[in-house]
Amino acid sequence: MSVRTRFAPSPTGFLHIGGLRTALFCWLYARRHGGQFILRIEDTDLERSTPEAIRQILDGMEWAGLDADEGPFRQTERFARYREVIELLLAQGKAYRCYCTKEELDRLRAEQMARGEKPRYDGRWRDRVDSRPGVQPVVRFKNPLHGEVVVEDAVHGRVVFQNSELDDLIISRSDGTPTYNFCVVVDDMDMRITHVIRGDDHLNNTPRQQNLLEALGCKPPIYAHLPMILGADGAKLSKRHGAVSVLQYRDEGYLPEALLNYLVRLGWSHGDQEFFTIDDMVRSFDISDVNKSASAFNPEKLAWLNQQHLMRAPPERLAEPLRWQLERLGVVGADEAKLLRIIMVQRERCKTLVEMAAQSLFFFSAPTSYDEKQVRKHVSTAVVDILRDLAGALERLGEWAAPALHSLISGAADRSGLSLGKVAQPVRLALCGGTVSPPIDATLAILGREESVDRLRRAVNEWALMIPPLP
Ligand code: GLU
C-alpha cells in the first residue's frame, strides 16, 4: 500500500515553524517512500479561521517547496460528507442523540467535582430512545465502556489509554456542525491516510480517533507524534523565540532549504550530520530516527545553516531570492549575470540574503555621500593624487578583470611606498561610500570600468575640496 501522509493545519493563526516542521516530516516521509502528501485545511472553527491565515499557510508551503500531491482540501467543503457519516453512525447505533441542556451538564459537572471526581459526561442519554421537545440535541459517539485503547506510536512507542477514562465524544453540535476530532477521523479515513504525523499535543486525541475509526470499520493509520519545539529557555515556543510566520524567515533573508534543514534536525538525527540538502533529507529521513524529547529552537544555528546553504548552493539558485530582496530595497531590473557575480563575491560574507542585498546596494547606485570619519582616516593629499592617477590608469587598463585590477592597485601602492590597504581603503570609500565591500579587485571587476572610473573621479573631486581641513 502506498504511503499517504497529510498536513492538516487549522487556519487560526499563521504557519509557524512548529507547523512547518510537522509539514516537512509528513512531506519527507511521503517523498521518501514514493507516496502522496496531502494538504488539508482544518477550517471548521468558523470563528477562529480566517482567509488571511489560509493564504499565509498556502504561501508558506509554496515558499518552502512542500508541494502537495492532493489538496488543499478544506473541511468546510465537506460538511455534507460529515453529516452522512453521522447519520450512518446513528443508524448503526454507534452514536446517539443527547438532549442534555447546558444547565443539566453544569449541574453534573459541579456534582462530580464536589465528589472529587474528574468531570465527564456520564452517558445518561446513551441508551435512551426518546427525545426532549424544544431542545436541539448533540450527537455523541458511543465510546466503548471497557478495555484499553493501545496506540502504537511510531515515536513514543506503545501508549495505553483506558476506555473508562474517555467519555462519549460529541461528534455533532446542537447546531448540526461536526466537531474537530470527528472531522479528522472522517478525513483520514476518506483520504486513505496511512501515516498520521503531527505534534504530540494531539496524542491525547488519538485514542478517541482510533475508537471512531474502528467503529467506522476502518483500520487506524500509523501514528507518529512529534516532540514539541521549545524556546532556547525551555519554555513553549512563542513569538519571542521566533515562533513567527514562516514567511517572516523569507523576508529576513533565509533560504527555505536552510530553514527546512534546521527544522529537520529538531527532533530527528542522522548520525551527526548537520548539513542536508532537500535531496539528502528525502534520502535519509525516517520516522524511526525521530526522538521523543522536545528540542529547543536555536536562532544562531539557523543563521549558521543559512550561511552554509548560501555558500554551497549553485549561484543560480540564489539569483531570484537576492533579486527579490534587492527589489524590496528599491533596486529594479538587476541584470542576471551581474547578480551571479555579486553572489560569488558576497556569499561567504553574509549570513542572510537581507544582509547580502544591503551590502550590495552600491553595485547598483553610486554613493551619494562618504563616511566622513573614514574619509578623515584614509584620505590625504597624497592619497587624492594616487587615486587621481589610478583613475587614469584604470581607464587605460587592457583587460578589465580581477587579477589585472589587483596588480594595478598593488603597483600603485608600491610606487608610492604605501601598503595595499592604504590605497585599497580609499578606493573602496570612493566606490561604495564606506569601508565594507568584497575584495577591491572583485568589486571593481563587477562595477565595470566606466562606473568605477566615474566614482573614483567624483570622490577625488569632492575630497580635493576638503583637503585643507584634512590631516
Ligand atoms: N488541525 C490540527 C492542528 O492544526 C492538526 C490535526 C491533526 O494533525 O490531526 O493542530
The CATH code of the domain that includes 127 is 3.40.50.620
In a domain, 399, yes or no: yes
Residues 85 and 139 in one domain: yes
How many whole angstroms from 30 Cα to the centroid of ligand 1? 18
What pLDDT is recorded for position 99? 98
Identify whether 102 is a catalytic site residue. Answer: no
Same domain as 145, residue 65:
no
C-beta separation of 375 from 398 below 8 A: no
Cβ-in-10-Å burial (0-12, 13-18, 19+) of 403 comes to exposed
Residues 182 and 285 both lie in one domain: no
Do residue 59 and residue 139 come from a single domain? no
Residue 127 is assigned to a structural domain of this protein: yes
Are 384 and 460 contained in the same domain? yes
Burial of 420 (0-12, 13-18, 19+ CB in 10 A): middle
Cell (9 digits) for 380: 590625504
Which residues does 226 contact at the CB level (< 8 Å), separation at least 6? 21, 22, 25, 155, 197, 198, 199, 200, 267, 290
Do residues 199 and 17 make contact, with C-beta atoms less than 8 angstroms apart?
Answer: no
CA–CA distance, 357 with 325 (Å, rounded to integer):
6
Q: Give CA angle at 158 (152, 164), nearest 5°.
A: 95
CA of 399 to the centre of ligand 1 (A): 62
Atom index in ligand 1 nearest the CA of residue 209 equals 9
Of 363, 398, 429, which marks where a domain is finished? 363
- Which single residue is written with the C-alpha cell 479528522? 184
CATH at residue 458 = 1.10.10.350
- Report the number of distinct structural domains present in the chain: 4
Q: Look up residue 372 and give its amino acid.
A: E
Catalytic residue among 118, 219, 239, 301: 239
Asked, for residue 471, whether it belongs to a domain, the answer is no
The answer on 107 and 204 residing in a single domain is yes
Report helix, strand or coil for 287: helix
Residues 129 and 151 in one domain: yes
The residue whose CA has the least distance to atom 7 of ligand 1 is 8
Q: Which of 163, 208, 155, 149 is nearest to 184 (CA)?
A: 208
Distance CA 329, CA 319 (A): 15
Domain extent for 423: 372-466
Total-model pTM: 0.93
Q: Which grid cell sits at 38?
A: 496531502
Around ligand 1, the residues with Cβ closer than 6 Å are 8-10, 42, 184, 198, 202
pLDDT string in tens for the chain (471-residue length): 899 999 999 999 889 999 999 999 999 999 999 999 999 999 998 889 999 999 999 999 999 999 999 999 999 999 999 999 999 999 999 999 999 999 999 999 999 999 999 999 999 999 999 999 999 999 999 999 999 999 999 999 999 999 999 999 999 999 999 999 999 999 999 999 999 999 999 999 999 999 999 999 999 999 999 999 988 888 877 766 665 789 999 999 999 999 999 999 998 999 999 999 999 999 999 999 999 888 899 999 999 999 999 999 999 999 999 999 999 999 999 999 999 999 999 999 999 999 999 999 999 999 999 999 999 999 999 999 999 999 999 999 999 999 999 999 999 999 999 999 999 999 999 999 999 999 999 999 999 999 999 999 999 999 988 765 544
Q: Residue written as cell 465527564?
A: 120
Q: Ligand 1 centre from 391 Cα, in Å?
A: 64
293 shares a domain with 338:
no
Sheet containing strand 138-141, strands side by side: 95-98, 138-141, 170-172
